[in-house]
Amino acid sequence: MRPLPRPEPFDPLRKGLYTSDELMQGYTPSNPEASLDRRIARHFIAAGGRNPPSAAEAIAQRLHDFGIDRALTAWLEGNGGIAPKVVGVMGSHSTPRDDPQYALVAELGWRLARAGFLVATGGGPGLMEAANLGAYLSKQLDRGALDRALTILKQAPAFESDHARYIEATRRVLADLPNGATSLGVPTWVYPDEPVNLFSSHIAKYFSNSMREEGLIAIGNHGVVIASDTPGTVREVFQAAEQNSYWVGDRRSPMVLLGLQGSSSFELLMAYARRDGYADLVMSFEDPQEVVDFMVRTPPLIRPSPAPTKTGAGVRRLRYRQPG
């Protein structure tokens, strides 16, 4: 008996991470909306978008995200059980490619990857793309390749103005500078108008934004870098602070703000860090190299295990007594 065709364009029983090539299947410059990613995005909107979908659609989306979650965990633990040193880079999706902050974050991604860190981002455009771009080009020994890539990308600074032109500029960089290094993107279809970040080699794309955000911060086992103070990024700042304050995962990891010293977010973050005892893990820098130097010399703190309780000499054992 033949299985019934699926009404959704995605596989609910997903068992692996996506690649940019897979999500771009069907794309042509004359019809950029034909890619698999755009078809799934349109299906997501038609099924309700951020509103509750039907029970069948909700189950399909949850199964898909569960599969992505398992695939991401397996990939991160796949190197003989040794997890890579992951640094999450958070930043605005709306920063154009010709903005100086884009170039700054691209340099940060390049330097982090060259220092041995796996760069992970929210997988979107803007500063997230910049970090993945830098990581992609980290096999290049000098900044020249990064500068050439930035020159090309500036010709199509924003996705909204011309989808095909934006994507074709990206593909030109990939063609001119092939065989880039590994990095991770963790995007969501909750933002259906965002393009695929083609510079991330592995993509864990979710329907649930809450699963995606919690997962992205949790996998940043060697810290996070915050590169903007837009509302979405500020929310992620304090999600990361929550994990440090409560020893989530039995560790505390560095938190660095790039170019945000003196901002209200930094001052509030420092207040929480001083109160809860991890102020030494929170810094702000203007120079990407200073960020990397700090990450290299500041490994995460691992929560010490409580000493085992011994019975015997010096230990008072209490017995319950009936009242009266």
The pLDDT assigned to 316 comes to 35
The pLDDT assigned to 4 comes to 43
Please give the Cα distance from 58 to 45 (Å, whole number).
13
The pLDDT assigned to 44 comes to 96
The pLDDT assigned to 179 comes to 95
Count H helices and E strands in the chain, helices first: 11, 9
Residues of the chain with pLDDT under 70: 1-7, 79-81, 307-324
Please give the Cα distance from 10 to 202 (Å, whole number).
17
The pLDDT assigned to 184 comes to 98
Please give the Cα distance from 223 to 175 (Å, whole number).
32
The pLDDT assigned to 81 comes to 65
DSSP, res 256: E
- Spell out the CATH class of 81-299: alpha beta
Q: Given the structure tokens 């699963």, which residue do they identify?
A: 211
Please give the Cα distance from 299 to 294 (Å, whole number).
9
Of 216, 199, 223, 232, residue with least CA distance to 283: 223
Q: What is the dihedral of CA 108, 270, 242, 104, to 10 degrees?
A: -10
Enter the tokens of residue 48. Answer: 């309700």
The string over 285-303, giving b where at least 16 C-beta atoms fall within 10 Å of a residue's C-beta and e elsewhere, is: beebeebbebbeebebbee
